[in-house]
Structure formats: structure tokens, C-alpha cells
Structure 1
Amino acid sequence: MKQQQLKMQQVYPDLWLSQPVFPEPKDWPDLKFHAFLLKRDEGNILFYTGDITENYDDLEALGGVKRHYLSHDHEVGPGLATIKARFGNTLHTHSAAEPLAKTFTQVDETFHARGHHPDGIEVIPCPGHTAGSACYLTRASDGRSYLFIGDTIYPSGGKWEALVDESDREQFLQSIELLAKLEPDVVLFGATMPDKAFHEFTPQTWRNALKEAVQSLDNIPVRNGYDQ
């Protein structure tokens, strides 16, 4: 039997990147959303948007989805229900993102504080970009640390930027202080503007990226919010 040619990209031995999704409105022409599939012997874990319609067959070929984690409510869409119906996975999100997510499908677990989930997943609430923003820290099969940060900060043409509501700025700065204490080897982004969706860091380059993203709050043009 001929092996299926996958559209998803293998970026590390245990990690696969979806094809990009281009959300509305079109006044964000460079904005791309992505999802990542983390391969685990106990069952694969999907992070970020579920509306990766061109990659559902790839998910099946890679062993399906056991758990699906959202980083914030901008990733909510009809794909959440499609993936759950096809793979029977559970859906996990910050409690503040649950009301929107459950308009599409059942949310199986919510959280509001930092804690540990099965298969070595640490959930880290990081409010600021949205009230329900969260990051996820785990270890790769080769020992490196992965940080799934959503778009708490995001790469934009070689720069680091952030976008928050003015009312959430104080929470965002507190989240940045928390993230600066982490030392991820690889950071996986749910959105880019435009840039590649994953970057490797040293402790110093990570802190520099966070600092630059904070500075961008006062430098980048004001943009309207977006919906997927």
C-alpha cells in the first residue's frame, strides 16, 4: 500500500505543524493561525485551532487526537466539533474561554490556575491578550522543553509583537513576568504576522523577545480585533 503523503509538516521528531489558516477579517492580510500535533504513546495532543480542514486526514494517519487544548477563544470555531466527532477527543480550555467554545461543542475540562495535566502537560494561565489566554509547557521526546504560547506574543516579520485590550494590559504584564521565569527551548505559536510558527530560544533571547513584545504595545498601529 502506498504511504499517504501528509500535508502537515514534521518540525521535530514528535511534533507536527498544520497548514496555515487565514482568519477573517481580511484587514489582517498577514495573519495566519496554526495547530500543532504532539505525538504521545498514550495518545496524541492537539494544540490551538481545530479549523484545519485540509489536515483532518493527516491527523488520522498520525494516530488521531486524544486531547485538544485551546490557548484562547480566538481559536474557537466549528472545527472543534468536527475533530471531536471524528476522533472522540476531550477538549480543554481556560474557564474564561469556555462560554464561546461550548457554543460549538462540549468542553470536557476547564482550568483557571496553573497545574499539571496527564502526559506531562503543565497548564499556565496567561491572561492579557484575552481573559482566557493560557500557555502549555511540556517536554519533547528528546528532552527539550516545548512552550505552546498561543499568541500571547507572536513573531511578525522578524520582530516580536503583542496585542492586548487596554483593560487587560496590567494582566498581560503580569503574565510576561511569569513567562520570563521560564526557559523554553522551543516556543510554538498559534498565530504569526507573518513568520514561521516555531522558534528556538536561549534563556536570554527568550527574555529579549518578551521585552520587545511589551515595547511593541506602544509602537505598533492600533488594529481592530479579529474573529476566526
Structure 2
Amino acid sequence: MTTPSPTGAGLEQLGARLYATAPPTPLPFMAGVDLRAFVLDAADGPVIVYNNPGIDVAAEQILSLGTPRRLLVNHWHEGMHGSPALDVPTFVHERDRAHTERSMRVDGVFGGRQRLGDDLEVVPSLGHTAGTAFYLWDDGEHRYLFPGDSLWVEDGVWRAVILGESDRSAFLETLALMRDLDFDVLVPWPAQRGRPVLEPVTPERAREQIDGLVARITAGTPGPNV
């Protein structure tokens, strides 16, 4: 992995073609947890994953990479920040469109699993919310999986965020899919302050963490942080 380095106020380089907004935004209801947006220098032009106030702070640096083609929203909770001032078309899964539009603009939607160019793919999850979507990006060096806050890493353990609106059966279906999904870096929306933003994994490590999640969800471990 590339050593993180600043590229100017508002944007930090995490990989050869991956950037994060900086400084991060504190998660208002969980102490010591931060949120970021990520900027992908994708094959067809820059793509932003996750909505965050840092997008506008980093607007000049994002535009230096090119005109952003899409803002990919993982699920409707990201609307709590409102639409960025930066002019970028916003996309979300069709099942979360109505909720998202209560607080931010939506320009397009996804349905099933589909590709967005040669290097980026939408992988619907539908477990955390009815319209959660994961994004899988291959930059030629790594395959990054963006699960939003459906999954995140707490003290080295992958946690599932299961709310009252969440569908445990759909969550288990997503985890079954993930066991065979080809990725080597997990990039959640939230990260513990002071801990790594990226979670590099081997296939064996990913399956070990996924199996732990399946066991806790199947056992009925109460949420939200399973």
C-alpha cells in the first residue's frame, strides 16, 4: 500500500489512485469514530464514494484530478450531511432513493449488480438498509471494497451495523457473497480515530472475519454493533 501523504488542504493520498477527504468528520453519535469520503482516480474519470462535508473542503483538489463523474452513496443515512456544493451527479440504490431525497439531491439510481466502466462495480447488499449498495473498484494494483458502515473495523474485528430497519437475512446473503468476492482492501465509511483507514486483507483473513460475523448474526447477537 502507498504510504498516506497529503496532496493539499482537504485531500490525502492513500494509494496510487485513491484519496480520502481530510480532515475527517467526527461521527456525531459515536465518540472516537470519524467519517470520510473517498476519491477514486477511476478509468473514466474521478468518482467520489460516500457523502461527507469534506467533499467541499477538498473540491479544488478533487477538480485537479478531473471533473468528478459520480458521487456514489452507499445508503440513505449519508444524506445527513446534505448535498455537497461541488457539482457532481449523485447516485444511490433505487430502494433508498426516496429516503435519500429527503435531505439531498439524487440524479440516478442502481438496481441489480452492474458495472460502471471497466474498473468499478455496484454490488447491492440490501442488509443495512433496504437499498444499501457496496462498490468494488479495481485500480490495477488493489481491489477495494466500499461497504459504507454496513461493515466496519473495531479494534481489528469486523462489525456489522444492524439497526431496526436492517434485514438480517439479507445481511447473511451479502456475507455469503462476500466470501467469494475478489477484494484485498476493505474501505468502510467510518474508522476509529487513530486507527488505519484502510483494512488490507488476504482471502483467508476476509473469510475468517466474515465467518465470525455470520456466527454472531445467526446467533441473534443484538445490534447495532454486532
TM-score by length of 2: 0.83
| Cα deviations by residue, 1:75-96 (Å, 9 ceiling, x for unpaired) | 1144524123xxxx22111112
State the secondary structure of the residue aligned to 1:207: helix
Alignment partners' CA distance in 2, 1:180 and 1:203: 8
Higher relative contact order by CA 8 Å / sep ≥ 6: 1 or 2? Answer: 1
Q: 1:29 & 1:162 partners in 2: Cα distance?
A: 18
Following superposition, the deviation at residue 223 of structure 1 comes to: 4.9
**Could you tell me which residue of structure 2 aligns to residue 68 of structure 1?**
71
The answer on whether the counterparts of 2:39 and 2:48 sit within 8 Å (CA) in structure 1 is yes
Q: For the residues of structure 2 that align with 1:39 and 1:103, how far apart are their CA atoms?
A: 30
CA pair 41-184 structure 1, distance change in 2 beyond 3 A: closer
Q: For residue 183 of structure 2, what is the aligned residue in structure 1?
A: 184
5+ residue gaps, structure 1, are none
**1:31 offset after TM fit, Å?**
2.5
Q: Which runs of 5+ in 2 are unaligned?
A: 1-6
Map residues 179-218 of structure 1 onto 2, 5 A cutoff: 179-194=178-193, 195-217=195-217
Mapped pair 1:36 → 2:38: yes
Residue 148 of structure 1: aligned partner: 146
Structure 2 counterpart of 1:133, one-letter code: T
Residue 117 of structure 2: aligned partner: 118
Change (3 A) 1:145 1:222: closer
Distance in 2, matches of 1:172 and 1:31, equals: 23
SS in 1 for 2:90: strand
The answer to whether residue 31 in structure 2 is matched with residue 24 in structure 1 is: no
* CA pair 83-213 structure 1, distance change in 2 beyond 3 A: farther
Over aligned residues, Cα RMSD in angstroms?
2.5
CA-to-aligned-CA distance 1:82-129 (integer Å, 9 cap, x gap): 123xxxx22111112211322344322212211112243211101111
Q: TM-score normalised to the size of structure 1? A: 0.82
Length, aligned pairs only: 214
Residue by residue, what CA displacement relative to the aligned partner does 1:177-223 show, whole Å, maximum 9, x if unpaired? 11111120212111124532211111111111212334455697755
